Amino acid sequence: MSDQAPPRVLVFDSGIGGLSVAACIHQLLPSVDLVYLADNAGFPYGDKPETVVVDRCCTLIAHALEQYPSDVIVVACNTASTVVLPHLRAMTSVPVVGVVPAIKPAAAKTRNRRIGLLATPATIRRPYLDRLIKEFAGDCRVERIGHPGLVRWAEDLVSGGVVPVDELEEAMKAFREAGVDTVVLGCTHYPLLLDGLKTSLPSVRFWMDSGDAIARRVAWLLEQTDQVADAWEDITEPARSPVSAALFSDSAPDGIARFMSELGLSVQLVRGTWPAKPTEAGSA
């Protein structure tokens, strides 16, 4: 086992959705030290102007890096990734990984060339998405749903909320009518709703999200700096938790430590203060 500190990855989202990506990174690279940063004071990003999203992301990530210097930054939010990546790359030399809706792998999977794209209202509208579809799924019919409720339903799961089945049924109507056989989860909150989505769309064969691809990209970046061996290694010291800090720009949601540990992401108790006055969730 290496004496070096494990590589650290800062995972950012507007809320809890990025935990679905953090879980994939932890699964592939169990010894990576994860710091989770959520702008829950700015949630949801899906209805915010681009300039606000860019400003909030850059400010919060800059503060987090001061206290938790990291080897890789993951913007685990599709909505933010469509606008913030060039700004972050200009701000820091730390490699930045963004999330892109998995249109390309969906086009490779679909049998009937009918794909459903589920994303936030903001992501659905971005010209970037039009280019992605044209480039990788030009021969497919891509039916888009940009529903404002789904991210909120996913957030409610933290406090034990239940997904409203009837509303979800209604929200998925366009996919049923289009007969899609593949659905792209173009928001990192949506893998957390997968059980309900599968029940609502039983004929969908392929569910595509970007979590595993992001994890592989993080592994590749760490490999470039010879840190990947430390990341693969499974440290079995009982005191160590995969997430060393969970930082929230508003009060941490009740039940977040339990929710994270259900995803295999137990949080280590953190002491100290953070410059942007977030609250820190620990394994209470």
CB of 121 to ligand DGL, least distance (A): 8
Single out the segment in contact with ligand DGL by CB under 6 A; choices: 76-84, 224-232, 238-246, 268-276. 76-84
Degrees, nearest 5: CA angle 110-111-117: 30
Does 274 participate in binding ligand DGL (rule CB under 6 A)? no
Catalytic residues: 77, 187
Q: Which residues on adjacent β-strands are paired with residue 91? A: none
Q: Beta-carbon neighbour count of residue 67 at 10 Å? A: 16
Cα dihedral 89, 95, 98, 102 sign:
positive
Does 210 participate in binding ligand DGL (rule CB under 6 A)? no
Q: Residues 29-68: x/- map of binding to ligand DGL (CB under 6 A)?
A: --------------xxxx----------------------
Q: Of 5, 38, 6, whose CA–CA distance to 21 is shortest?
A: 38
DSSP 31: T
Q: Residues 124-153: x/- map of binding to ligand DGL (CB under 6 A)?
A: ---------------------------x--
- Closest to ligand DGL by CB, 6 vs 191, is 191
User: Do residues 98 and 85 make contact, with C-beta atoms less than 8 angstroms apart?
Assistant: yes
Q: Of 25, 76, 50, whose CA–CA distance to 185 is shortest?
A: 76
- Closest to ligand DGL by CB, 187 vs 270, is 187
- Closest to ligand DGL by CB, 43 vs 153, is 43
User: Do residues 92 and 68 make contact, with C-beta atoms less than 8 angstroms apart?
Assistant: no
CB of 46 to ligand DGL, least distance (A): 3
Q: Determine the straight-line distance between the first and last CA of the chain, rounded to whole angstroms.
A: 29
Q: What is the dihedral of CA 158, 62, 127, 104, to 10 degrees?
A: -70
Binding ligand DGL (rule: CB under 6 A), the pick from 77, 163, 222, 265 is: 77
Secondary structure element (H or E) that encloses residue 51, with its range: helix 50-67
Alpha carbon distance 64, 226 (integer Å): 24
CB of 236 to ligand DGL, least distance (A): 32
CB of 132 to ligand DGL, least distance (A): 15
Does 70 participate in binding ligand DGL (rule CB under 6 A)? no
- Closest to ligand DGL by CB, 24 vs 187, is 187
- Closest to ligand DGL by CB, 17 vs 105, is 17
Binding ligand DGL (rule: CB under 6 A), the pick from 171, 183, 187, 215 is: 187
How many Cα atoms within 13 Å fall on the side-chain side of residue 181?
10
Residues found near ligand DGL in the complex (CB under 6 A): 13-15, 17, 43-46, 77-79, 120, 123, 151, 187-189
